[in-house]
C-alpha cells in the first residue's frame, strides 16, 4: 500500500486508487463536476486540479494515480488561481438565470462560484446562445445554455443503464447533448433515465414532473424505502417543510401540504458540494447490509402517483361508516365465532406490522402471503441492474414469518381476513364473512363485513427487508388523516379485546 501525502498529511492508499479517491476516503474535499464514483473518468471540467509539490503546474486529481511518496497540495495559491480561472471559463456562456432555475439552491455550479470565484464575468463579449428547453424525452427537458458538457449523462446511459441514448453533437462552443441517432425513443425506453437529472451538476437537465413546481428550500427530504419491487432501494421523499406549509384552508393548498414533490435516491447529490465528502456508507443508518447504489428506476420516481391515490378514511361495517371501536368489536366477534379463519398477509406490510400480527392474531388463522401489486402492463419486469420481478417490498420477510404456501381456501373456511391490496374478492368462498384492511378507496371496502382504513408508509415509521435480507428504514412524512389507524393498532386492539373477553369468561367460571 503506497503512502502518499495530501496537504502534508500522510495517508495509506491502495494501488488502484486515484488522488481524488484517497482524499474523499479521508475527508478531504476536492471539487468535481464531471467525475462521479460510479462512472468512468472523463477529465472534462478541470476543477479537481491539485499541485504536486515541486512542480509549477497543476494536474487533475480524478485521473492521477497514487505512487509511493507522492506529495500533493489541494489548496495552494496556484490551485486557487486555476480554479478561479476554470470557474470563469465554465460560466463564460452560462445564462446565470438562477432566479428561475429549478436547480437553484442545490446547484454545484452556484456553490463552486461562491467558493472558488465569486466575481462577475470578465468577458465583455456576447454569450453564445443555445437551445432552451429542448425536449430530450417525455420525462426530461434540456437547457443547453446551462450545460457545461461534463458528460455525466452520456456516460450514465452508456455505462450504467446501457441504453446508449445520449451523445455529444457538434464541436467547440456549439457542442450540445442530444439523443443518440436523433431519436428520443432510446431515452424514453430507458427505465433509469431520470437519474441523469440527479447526476447533472447544473440546471441543464430538468424533470418535467418537477419543473417550476417548488423551490428546494421549501422542501425537506425524509429517508424512506422504495416499495416498487423487492429490491427496496433507499430513497429520499421530498415534501414541504413544516415552516413552509401553505396556510390557505383551500383543498388545493392542503393537498399541496401533503404532496410528494419528488423522489430521489438517498443522498443522491452527496459529495458534489463544498463540505461534502462522498462515502459508500452514507446511508448506513438506513441499511444493515450492502450500501445502496446512487440511483433508482423511474418507477421509484413516480411514487406520488402510487401513494397519493384517493384514500379511505373511516372504518365501516357493510359499507356504513362506524367508529373504530365499533368496527374492532364487530371484527372480534367474527374472529371469536370462526373455527377455520384464513388470513391473507400483505407483502407491503412493514417488519413491525408483520411481527405484531404474528404475535397477536396469527395463532387463530391459517396464514398465506399474497402479492399486493403485480407488474403493470408497460413496466420493465426485471433486469440485471436493480429492477426485480416481485413488485412488493417486503414479500421476503412476510414469507419468513408466514411461509411460502400458495393460497388455497380449505372447504370449511368460515372467515377471511384480507390485509392490503391485490386480492380478487371473487375468488373468496361464497357467503363467508370478510374483514378487510386497506388504505385506498376501492369498491371492496364497502362490501366487506368489517373494513379498517389503515395508514400508508409515508404516515408511519418502519422497516422493510428486501430479497437479499437487507433491512432498510422508512420514516413518516405526514400525519395520518382523521379516521385512519395503523394496522398494528388494529391488531393490538383486536388482541386486547380478545384478552379482556377471556378474562371475563374466567371470572364467570369461578363466580358462585
C-alpha dist (Å) from residue 465 to 18, 339, 397: 35, 33, 6
Helix (H, G, I), strand (E, B) or coil at 265: strand
| Alpha-carbon dihedral 272, 277, 280, 281, rounded to 10 degrees | -120
Could you tell me the pLDDT band of residue 496, with boundaries at 50, 70 and 90?
confident
Per-residue pLDDT at 159 exceeds 70: yes
Per-residue pLDDT at 509 exceeds 90: no
CATH architecture assignment, domain 124-207:
2-Layer Sandwich (3.30)
CATH of 3-90, one of 2.60.40.10, 3.10.20.740, 3.40.190.10, 2.120.10.30: 3.10.20.740
Average pLDDT, the chain: 91
Helix (H, G, I), strand (E, B) or coil at 277: coil
Per-residue pLDDT at 277 exceeds 90: no
Per-residue pLDDT at 502 exceeds 50: no
C-alpha cell at 286: 438506513
Smallest CA-to-CA distance from 491 within 327, 323, 356, 399 is with: 356
| Alpha-carbon dihedral 361, 367, 370, 372, rounded to 10 degrees | -10
Per-residue pLDDT at 352 exceeds 90: yes
Query: What is the mean pLDDT of the segment spanning 314-326?
Result: 96
For the chain, the domains span 3-90, 124-207, 219-307, 316-503
Gap between the Cα atoms of 378 and 191, Å rounded: 11
Could you tell me the pLDDT band of residue 278, with boundaries at 50, 70 and 90?
low
Answer for the pair 128, 93: CB distance below 8 angstroms, yes or no.
yes
Gap between the Cα atoms of 115 and 267, Å rounded: 22
Q: Which residue has the higher pLDDT, 200 or 118?
A: 200
C-alpha cell at 352: 413491525
Q: What confidence score (pLDDT) does residue 508 get?
A: 32
DSSP at 176: E
Per-residue pLDDT at 129 exceeds 70: yes
Query: What is the mean pLDDT of the segment spanning 265-286?
Result: 59
Q: What confidence score (pLDDT) does residue 257 get?
A: 95
Helix (H, G, I), strand (E, B) or coil at 462: strand
Q: What confidence score (pLDDT) does residue 183 get?
A: 83
CB proximity list for 243: less than 8 A, separation 6 or greater = none
Per-residue pLDDT at 92 exceeds 80: yes
| Alpha-carbon dihedral 284, 285, 288, 294, rounded to 10 degrees | -40
- High-pLDDT (> 90) share of the chain, %: 86
Q: CA 344: distance to chain centroid?
A: 28
Could you tell me the pLDDT band of residue 290, with boundaries at 50, 70 and 90?
very low
At 169-199, the pLDDT tens digits run 998 888 999 999 888 889 999 999 999 999 9
Where is average pLDDT lowest: 174-188, 222-236, 325-339?
Answer: 174-188
- In terms of phi and psi (left: phi > 0; alpha: psi -120 to 50; beta: otherwise), the region of 321 is beta
CA angle 263, 376, 391 (to 5 degrees): 65
Per-residue pLDDT at 271 exceeds 80: no
Query: What is the mean pLDDT of the segment spanning 76-98?
Result: 94
Smallest CA-to-CA distance from 462 within 479, 476, 452 is with: 476
At 1-55, the pLDDT tens digits run 899 999 999 999 999 999 999 999 999 999 999 999 999 999 999 999 999 999 9
Per-residue pLDDT at 354 exceeds 50: yes
Where is average pLDDT lowest: 66-80, 176-190, 354-368?
Answer: 176-190
Gap between the Cα atoms of 131 and 136, Å rounded: 11
Smallest CA-to-CA distance from 388 within 299, 471, 284, 289 is with: 299
C-alpha dist (Å) from residue 262 to 174, 304, 493: 32, 8, 35
Could you tell me the pLDDT band of residue 269, with boundaries at 50, 70 and 90?
low
C-alpha dist (Å) from residue 8 to 2, 70, 78, 289, 426: 15, 10, 16, 35, 73
Gap between the Cα atoms of 290 and 272, Å rounded: 22
- High-pLDDT (> 70) share of the chain, %: 93
Q: Regarding the domain delimited by 316-503, which CATH topology (the fold level of the hierarchy) does it fall under? A: Rossmann fold (3.40.50)
Q: What confidence score (pLDDT) does residue 292 get?
A: 55
At 424-474, the pLDDT tens digits run 999 999 999 999 999 999 999 999 999 999 999 999 999 999 999 999 999
Q: What confidence score (pLDDT) does residue 172 get?
A: 86
Query: What is the mean pLDDT of the segment spanning 465-487?
Result: 96
Could you tell me the pLDDT band of residue 331, with boundaries at 50, 70 and 90?
very high
Amino acid at each position: 500500500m503506497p503512502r502518499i501525502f495530501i496537504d502534508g498529511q500522510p495517508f495509506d492508499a491502495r494501488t488502484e486508487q486515484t488522488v481524488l479517491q484517497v482524499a474523499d476516503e479521508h475527508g478531504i474535499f476536492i471539487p468535481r463536476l464531471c467525475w462521479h464514483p460510479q462512472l468512468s473518468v472523463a477529465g472534462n471540467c478541470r476543477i479537481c486540479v491539485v499541485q504536486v509539490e515541486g512542480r509549477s503546474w497543476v494536474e487533475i486529481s480524478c485521473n492521477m494515480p497514487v505512487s509511493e511518496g507522492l506529495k500533493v497540495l489541494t489548496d495552494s495559491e496556484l490551485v486557487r488561481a486555476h480554479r478561479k480561472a476554470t470557474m470563469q471559463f465554465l460560466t463564460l456562456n452560462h445564462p446565470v438565470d438562477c432566479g428561475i432555475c429549478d436547480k437553484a439552491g442545490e446547484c454545484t455550479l452556484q456553490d463552486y462560484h461562491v467558493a472558488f470565484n465569486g466575481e462577475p464575468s470578465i468577458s465583455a463579449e456576447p454569450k453564445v446562445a443555445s437551445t432552451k428547453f429542448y425536449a430530450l424525452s417525455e420525462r426530461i427537458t434540456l437547457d443547453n445554455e446551462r450545460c457545461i458538457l461534463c458528460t455525466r449523462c452520456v456516460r450514465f446511459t452508456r455505462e450504467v443503464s446501457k441504453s446508449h441514448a445520449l451523445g455529444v453533437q457538434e464541436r467547440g462552443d456549439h457542442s450540445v447533448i442530444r439523443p443518440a441517432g436523433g431519436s428520443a425513443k432510446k431515452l424514453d425506453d430507458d427505465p433509469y433515465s431520470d437519474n441523469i437529472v440527479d447526476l447533472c451538476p447544473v440546471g441543464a437537465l430538468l424533470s418535467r414532473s418537477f419543473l417550476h413546481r417548488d423551490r428546494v428550500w421549501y422542501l425537506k427530504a425524509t429517508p424512506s424505502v422504495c416499495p416498487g419491487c423487492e429490491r427496496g432501494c433507499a430513497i429520499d421523499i421530498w415534501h414541504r417543510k413544516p415552516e413552509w406549509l401553505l396556510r390557505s384552508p383551500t383543498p388545493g393548498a392542503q393537498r399541496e401540504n401533503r404532496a410528494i414533490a419528488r423522489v430521489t435516491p438517498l443522498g443522491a447529490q452527496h459529495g458534489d458540494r463544498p463540505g461534502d465528502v462522498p462515502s459508500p456508507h452514507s446511508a448506513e443508518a438506513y441499511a444493515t447490509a450492502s450500501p445502496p447504489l446512487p440511483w433508482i428506476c423511474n418507477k421509484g420516481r413516480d411514487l406520488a402517483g402510487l401513494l397519493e391515490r384517493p384514500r379511505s378514511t373511516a372504518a365501516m361495517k357493510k359499507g356504513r361508516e362506524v367508529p373504530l371501536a365499533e368496527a374492532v368489536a364487530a371484527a372480534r366477534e367474527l374472529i371469536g365465532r370462526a373455527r377455520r379463519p384464513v388470513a391473507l398477509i400483505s407483502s407491503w406490510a412493514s417488519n413491525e406490522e408483520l411481527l405484531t400480527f404474528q404475535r397477536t392474531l396469527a395463532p387463530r388463522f391459517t396464514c398465506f402471503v399474497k402479492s399486493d401489486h403485480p407488474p403493470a402492463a408497460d413496466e420493465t419486469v426485471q433486469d440485471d441492474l436493480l429492477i426485480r420481478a416481485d413488485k412488493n417490498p417486503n414479500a421476503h420477510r412476510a414469507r419468513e414469518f408466514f411461509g411460502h404456501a400458495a393460497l388455497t381456501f380449505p372447504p370449511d373456511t368460515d372467515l377471511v381476513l384480507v390485509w392490503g391490496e391485490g386480492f380478487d374478492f371473487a375468488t373468496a368462498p361464497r357467503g363467508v364473512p370478510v374483514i378487510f384492511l386497506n388504505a385506498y378507496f376501492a369498491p371492496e371496502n364497502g362490501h366487506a363485513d368489517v373494513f379498517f382504513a389503515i395508514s400508508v408508509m409515508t404516515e408511519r415509521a418502519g422497516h422493510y427487508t428486501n430479497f437479499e435480507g437487507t433491512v432498510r428504514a422508512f420514516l413518516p412524512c405526514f400525519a395520518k388523516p382523521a379516521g385512519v389507524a395503523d394496522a398494528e393498532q388494529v391488531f393490538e386492539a383486536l388482541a386486547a379485546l380478545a384478552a379482556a373477553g377471556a378474562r371475563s369468561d374466567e371470572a364467570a367460571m369461578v363466580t358462585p
